[in-house]
Structure formats: C-alpha cells, structure tokens
Amino acid sequence: MKSLKFIFLVIILCCVGIYSCSDDESLNANNTGNFDRQAMLVNWVDDLIIPAYQDFNTKVTALKSASNTFESLPNQTNLNNLRQTWEDAYITWQNVSMFNIGPAQSTFLRSFLNIYPTNAGNIDANISSGNYALQDINRNDEQGFPALDYLLFGLADTDTEILEFYTTNTNANSYLAYLTDVVNRIDTLTNEVVTEWEGDYRATFVNSSGNAANSSTNVLVNEYMKYYEVFFRNGKIGTPAGVFSAGMQTPEKVEAFYKKDLSKTLCLEALDALQNFFRGTVYNQTTTVESLESYLDFLNTMKEGEDLSLLINNQFNTSRDLISALNSNFFEQINTNNIQMLEVFEALQDNVVFLKSDMMSALNINIAFESNDGD
C-alpha cells in the first residue's frame, strides 16, 4: 500500500510539477545580457559532440572486427571478445544518444540502435526464415544493442549452449548471418552520422545561432530534455519500475535485460553524460567550456534565492548517489526492493523541474515536445 501511494504521488508530481514550479516569482534571471550562443555551439560540437561520436565510432569498429572474427571462428575466446566489444560500444553509446538532431535524427539512429526490450520472438523468426529487412523502421526492436544482448547472452543458459547455436545448430549459419547483419547495420548508421557531423553539418549547426524555434540551441536543448525525460528517466528507471503502469512492475523492460549486471553501468554512464553536457565538460576530460551551466550563470539565474545551476548540479549528484546504491542488476533490484528504483525516479523528476521549467524559461527556450508520461 505504501509503494502504491508513493507511485501515485510521483505521477501527480510529473503532471503538475512543471506548472507549479515555474512561477515567475520564484525564478529571477537577468535577461539583459548578451551571451554568445555561437561560441557555446562551437564548444558543444568541437569539444563534446564530435569527439563523443568519434569515440563511439571507434568502439563500433572494434565491435565489427570482433563480429567478423567470431563469424569466421565461433569459439569461447572469440565470443568473450565479441561480448566485451559490445559492452564497450554500448557504454559509449550512452554519451551520444542524447544528440538526436541532424544526421542522427534523419537516420533514426537511436530508434535503430537502442529500442528495448528487444523482440526475441521476431529475431528467432527472422533467423529461421532468412527474410528480414533491418532498414524497416518497424523492425527497430529486432536489431541494435538490445538484439545483440539477446544473441550474445540470451539464447541459452550456458555459454556452451549459446555457442551451439552458432556451430552445431541446423540454423547455425543463419544465426551467424543475422548477428553479422545487426553489427554491420550499427556500423553503417554510425559511420553515416559521424561523416555528416565531420562534414557539412558542423557548419550548419554552428551557424544556426539565433533564438528561433529551429535554431541549434533550441533544438538541441529540447532533444536533451526529451532524452532526459523519455529515454533516461522513463526508459531506464520509471517504466520497468512500474511508475506509468499503476504500480505493475515490468522488470523485463530493463536495459540490457540478458546481460543483467550491466543495467546500472549504462544508467550511470548516461547520467554522467547528461551532467557533462549541462556543465560543458570536454569529452573524456575535466576541462569545461561554455555551456548551459555557464549560460545560466551569465544570466545570474536564481530560484528562490539559490543559484539555479548549483541546484541542477546538486540534483544530478543526488541522483547519482541513489543510482549507485542500486543493485547492478536492475531486474533483481525491481523484484527485491522496487522502492529504491522509485526513489531514483523521484530524484530524477526533481531535476525535470529545474531543467525543463526553470532553465528553459530562463534561456527563453520553448518546450517543443511531449513527454507522454501517462502512456
């Protein structure tokens, strides 16, 4: 009963928190300044976005190489190597998933690479029939990292049995072919996005420095918030914990369901990426550049007498502490102590108010997406 009351309270907060906490009287920003948005865009693209994509592309190249080796010789050593490169790429993916603009948006990169839970039944059917077109958006839950999660960890209970699918099974060649096709699809899409960012799209992004709805700052901040709410807060925590299903837990919807001890690692990496973008932390460094944080500080944005950027960073840190206290296996965490998952959700929701309501209001950025919390 206590947990149901908690869930009800959280949902009420989701519905009314944004409205009630954006009171003009509680937020004080100096809007007379002339912050250089274009300089911020240059920093974003050269110090955060492109370096993160390049690192991800490197990890995907290693994944493809390991996949080719496994296809040629499917044994335990090569399976272990393939799994490790998958994990490395999946972790690095968390640093670029939020950048769903430009080439990533036009290629549906996120939809093809990380829609979970994966549809294991359809994957099995695809392998049996040999009839599939991974370019079809309706097959987005039959590919990407979640599909590899199933193919590398979920086909059977032991490694010996998993290897048999790729060696002695009557459809062994088909299993190998599907695995290779999924990896090649990740590689092709990633290369396409990175090539565009390194080419003409960089200038397009940087030169759109105004404050129109379609300007780079406004579009990227909206995508950042959409990612935070829908794919991070909801996808990694809220949905499997039952926040949007009247308390009915669905632990099978956790990220990395088959490699269950990876869920927390992916969640923490994504949280770090979100805070690093807010702070303008150069990718894989500690140096900071112009950012949303420095923009708020330039405007001297205060909320009820407190520095808004500090409130946001403190809430990121609170969320990190709560996530760090979870079991590495989110499936087990939900089944044994779901209250802790709900506490994480509540902490993440608190930052939705600071980011989506207070920050976007201070920066004069209109909200251009629906989070569909009730879905």
Phi/psi at 306 (nearest 5 deg)? -120, 145
Nearest to 302 by CA among 22, 19, 20, 27: 27
Query: In the structure encoding, which two tokens stand for residue 303, read together?
Result: 């909320």
At 372 the pLDDT is: 59
CB-based contacts of 171, cutoff 8 Å, min separation 6:
127, 128, 165
At 370 the pLDDT is: 79
CB-based contacts of 194, cutoff 8 Å, min separation 6:
50, 53, 54, 56, 57
CB-based contacts of 356, cutoff 8 Å, min separation 6:
18, 225, 228, 229, 367
Q: Strands 302-303 and 306-307, how do they pair?
A: antiparallel
Q: Cα–Cα distance between 287 and 47 in angstroms, integer?
A: 10
> Would you say how long the chain is, in residues?
375
Cα distances (angstroms) measured from residue 92 to each of 63, 95, 102, 267 = 12, 6, 20, 12
Nearest to 351 by CA among 302, 312, 295, 309: 312
Nearest to 374 by CA among 97, 118, 20, 10: 10
Q: Cα–Cα distance between 300 and 339 in angstroms, integer?
A: 37
Confirm if 69 and 302 have CB atoms less than 8 A apart. no
Q: Cα–Cα distance between 147 and 114 in angstroms, integer?
A: 9
Q: Tens place of pLDDT for every residue, the chain, 375 residues?
A: 444 444 444 444 444 444 444 444 456 655 535 899 999 999 999 999 999 999 999 999 999 999 999 999 999 999 999 999 999 999 999 999 999 999 999 999 999 999 999 999 999 999 999 999 999 999 999 999 999 999 999 999 999 999 999 999 999 999 999 999 999 999 999 999 999 999 999 999 999 999 999 999 999 999 999 999 999 999 999 999 999 999 899 999 999 999 999 999 999 999 999 999 999 999 999 999 999 999 999 999 999 999 999 999 999 999 999 999 999 999 999 999 999 999 999 999 999 999 999 999 999 999 998 765 533
At 29 the pLDDT is: 56
Q: Cα–Cα distance between 375 and 140 in angstroms, integer?
A: 20
Torsion of CA 330, 12, 371, 360, to 10 degrees: -110
- CB environment 272-301: b (16+ within 10 A), e (fewer): ebbbbbbbbbebeeeeebbbbbbbbebbeb
Confirm if 98 and 274 have CB atoms less than 8 A apart. yes
Q: Cα–Cα distance between 150 and 317 in angstroms, integer?
A: 32
Residue with tokens 């001297």: 300
CATH C-level class of 40-202:
mainly alpha
Confirm if 292 and 359 have CB atoms less than 8 A apart. yes
Confirm if 55 and 197 have CB atoms less than 8 A apart. no
Nearest to 153 by CA among 64, 75, 86: 86
Query: In the structure encoding, which two tokens stand for residue 148, read together?
Result: 């590899």
